Chain A
Amino acid sequence: MQVSGISVLFKGINFQRLLGGLWVTMRIALITIGLSVVFGLLFGLLMLSKNKVARAFCRLWLEIVRFMPQLVLLYVVYFGFARLFGWDLSGESSAVIVFTFWGTAELGDLIRGALTSIPAHQRESAAALGLTSRQIYRYILIPQTVRRLLPQAINLSTRIIKTTALVKMINVTEVLKVGQQIIGQFYRQPDAAFWVYFTIFLLYFLICWPISLLAGKLEKRWA
């Protein structure tokens, strides 16, 4: 009489519901990545600035990101800010704030690393060819920085995508939550849970894996 629990996935609109849940986290990830690129650039330049206060500020920011689990930061913003400042932030906005806070610092640090890794003689030999300072940036420095940066930045974006799964813990109805709802509805189908979680696992893999492969390819090509 037993039908495999895998059939649950194809009952009604269950699969679409899972994808809808996944889209919730992907949307958070995409907004986060977009904001992190903008702020990360500023952060990276700030880290390289001559202003000591600005550098110390960045350092502190980076250390907080390094030491605090993202889940703790999510709790602080989602539950803590409501208490402290009376801000009633939705789960999704809290997530965007926290992940952008994190992504900005990490990407900024990558940008700083990429910029400082270009040896001084690259600039010097370009100048020796008589290039203007704008041309040096355009043809020598920026292309090399981008080549160092891009693979690492792409890897960071897969980490951001993976980490958005955490929004389940602050009551956002994302793919895991939808999965639990489906499992709850089909409690007569005991192995439904196995297949639902397995599917979610695969879905994440299918999103992140190609991106990782791309990063690996670029890294090899530009190494």
Chain B
Amino acid sequence: MDWSFIGQHIPDYLSGAGVTLRFGLYGVGCSLLVGLICCLCRYFRVPVFTWLARLYTELARNTPLLVQLFFLYAGLPRVGVKLSADACAVIGLTFLGGAYMAEAFRSGLESVDQTQKEAGECIGLTRGQNIRYVLLPQALATAVPAIFANVIFLIKETSMFSVLAMMDLMNVADTLRTSGGRTVEVLFMLAAAYLLILMPVSLIAYWVERRLRYAGFGDQRPV
């Protein structure tokens, strides 16, 4: 292992990690939003949108991100829709992640008893108030493990952004590998970098899940 090579290229990896993390987080943020909207459309059976949300989640969950990115980046411009690499990255990751987040929210909402919704309605809350104060807080608590699993999954998926010629971790490593030939060091640093990014995420997830478990709401149903 050539440590001086490693030391010399740490800045490259740092900038790569910056790209990975930044676009990963953009993607996660947008995915949460899209996922929430889709999930609420389906939960409240909003006409037409329920159907659209269903179609979208099925499409996004059953196709590879790599193919989605090729379609966005190399296919769409040929019919006049030109998107920058950055836009493709965020749209692609959101397209994929939104569907996964919608599933996480959906199973969270399904775990909230129907009677909770009715209890909220019975004290005169509007639909919006009921979602905000009664349903979502409980659904989120249940959905947290799935949401964090998706966050880790999505950050890992950013490794495909190299096909958009973005200088993320993967592409930084690939460029160094093809130019310098120090494959072992390059890949060692690449693996270490992903570990350093994802370990903290995993620890945060662990901490949040534990807190929620201790605050456990307990069983509401009569036995």
Contact = CB atoms under 8 A, between A and B. Distances in A.
A194 B67 contact: no
B78 A191 contact: yes
Contact of B70 (A71, A195, A197): A197
A197 B79 CA distance: 12
A69 B157 contact: yes
B56 interface: no
Chain A binding surface SS class: helix
A68 B155 CA distance: 10
B183 interface: yes
Nearest to B157: A69
A197 B71 contact: yes
B75 A196 contact: yes
A215 to B, nearest CB: 11
B187 A193 contact: no
Given A68-B191, A84-B184, A212 B62 contact: yes
A176 B177 contact: no
A194 B78 CA distance: 6
Contacts of A209: 58, 62
B67 A67 contact: no
B59 interface: yes
* Residue from the set A69, A162, A190, A204 with the largest chain B CB neighbour count within 10 Å: A69
B75 A79 contact: no
Given A193-B78, A194-B76, A197-B74, A80 B184 contact: yes
A142 interface: no
A168 interface: yes
B183 A83 contact: yes
Contacts, number: 113
A61 interface: no
Contacts of A57: none
B117 interface: no
A165 interface: yes
A200 B75 CA distance: 11
A72 B66 contact: no
A72 B157 contact: no
B146 interface: no
A207 to B, nearest CB: 8
Contacts of B160: 71, 166
A75 to B, nearest CB: 6
A198 interface: yes
B159 A69 contact: yes
Contacts of A27: none
Given A193-B78, A209-B62, A80 B183 contact: yes
* Residue from the set B64, B183, B199 with the largest chain A CB neighbour count within 10 Å: B64
Given A80-B184, A80-B187, A69 B156 contact: yes
Contact of B183 (A79, A176, A183, A200): A79
Interface in A169-215: 169, 176, 179, 183, 190-198, 200-201, 204-205, 208-209, 212
B68 interface: yes
Interface of A: 5, 66-72, 75-76, 79-80, 82-84, 158, 162-163, 165-166, 168-169, 176, 179, 183, 190-198, 200-201, 204-205, 208-209, 212
Interface of B: 58-59, 61-68, 70-71, 74-79, 152, 156-157, 159-160, 162-163, 170, 173-174, 177, 183-184, 187, 190-191, 194-195, 198-199, 202
Given A72-B170, A190-B78, A204-B63, 14 more contacts: A69-B157, A70-B156, A71-B160, A75-B174, A80-B183, A166-B64, A168-B66, A169-B162, A193-B75, A194-B78, A194-B79, A201-B67, A205-B59, A205-B63
